Amino acid sequence: MSTKPFSRTLPACILCRSPDLDLAVPLEPMPIATPTFKLPDHLRGRGDAIAAASLDLRLCRACGHLQTTDMVDPEFNYNNYVYKTASSLGLVEHFRGNAEQAMARYTPAPGALVAEIGSNDGSLLRFFKNRGHRVLGIDPAQEIARQATSNGIETWARFFDRGVAQEAAAKHGQASIILANNVIANIDNVGTFTAGLDPLLAPDGVFIFETQYGADVIDRTLLDTVYNEHLSYFMVRPLATHFDRLGYQVINVDRIPTKGGSIRVAVQRKGGKRPVAPEVGQIIGDEERRGMFGLGYYKPFAERVKEIGR
């Protein structure tokens, strides 16, 4: 039986790799095992499979990113994943709107490749396939990937990285659109993830991702969305700085209602043909005016959490 630990403490900021992280919100630890995945039978006797990992929220002094610092082993978590997109009320219809907006706003050519990282059961990609586009899903959940492929959405049961991106580009060509919904917040090194986009994204392609908006988590006290699977709680300014550093630019940010408050972010290579929407600067300006990159912004949230506990 494997004795590999199921969680570890991250040594640095998930976005900029700075080690300077301040405690912003102390939270009680939470068991590693959650209902989103099936605990294999051979691990049920291991106490560390249900041990608690820290949920403390920490703020990076260097870039202002809000994050947890304990990470559950991705293979332990995602290889046995059981949650499916279609099980969430209204999410498939939400993805229909996502697909329609992407096709109208970014106009991929007929038959262009659309790839999705963390594609789950293929619900989102199906809307693109139905409009004549080639599609490819990449998702480490073995059984879900198998089912999606058997249902007509080719899905590789792999963790996304640069090597997988190179393989996909060699087999299918580069993608006009790469999607990642509610995935990027679960990654411990977003820089490595972003670098993996380069081989697969076409020169004029766009990367579109949805993730929960950190400001909504704090302002609306969305405490139930803070758990071990979610490492990052993104604001727009740190994201824009991150992508700029790696040769990309944020061109659109839409506020959307999913999960209590999320953002849909579109990114292209620097110097791309699409203009930067004014909403990007407006949201960043609002974050700065409200002091979201200082510890004081988080004190009311921490007090509300204490009151909930009482």
Q: By the 8 A CB rule, do 9 and 70 touch?
A: yes
Q: Alpha-carbon distance 47 to 120, whole Å? A: 29
Q: Alpha-carbon distance 67 to 15, whole Å? A: 9
The yes-or-no verdict on residue 37 having pLDDT over 60 is no
The yes-or-no verdict on residue 220 having pLDDT over 90 is yes
Mean pLDDT of 236-257: 97
The yes-or-no verdict on residue 80 having pLDDT over 90 is no
- For 184-199, the DSSP string reads GGG-S-HHHHHHHHHH
Mean pLDDT of 145-157: 96
- Looking at residue 163, the DSSP 8-state letter turns out to be H
- Domain range 85-219+243-285, CATH architecture: 3-Layer(aba) Sandwich (3.40)
The yes-or-no verdict on residue 19 having pLDDT over 60 is yes
196 or 76, greater pLDDT? 196
**Tokens representing residue 212 in the block:** 């929960």
Q: By the 8 A CB rule, do 187 and 14 touch?
A: yes
The yes-or-no verdict on residue 267 having pLDDT over 90 is yes
Note the pLDDT of residue 1: 36
Query: Tens digit of pLDDT for each residue in 102-143?
Result: 999 999 999 999 999 999 999 999 999 999 999 999 999 889
pTM of the model: 0.90
Query: Tens digit of pLDDT for each residue in 98-113?
Result: 999 999 999 999 999 9
The yes-or-no verdict on residue 32 having pLDDT over 80 is no
pLDDT band at 31 (very low <50, low <70, confident <90, very high): confident
Mean pLDDT of 191-199: 94
Mean pLDDT of 185-191: 92
The yes-or-no verdict on residue 48 having pLDDT over 90 is no
Mean pLDDT of 254-282: 96
Mean pLDDT of 168-177: 98
Beta strands in 49-145 (DSSP E): 52-53, 57-60, 66-67, 70-72, 113-117, 134-138
Note the pLDDT of residue 85: 58
265 or 81, greater pLDDT? 265
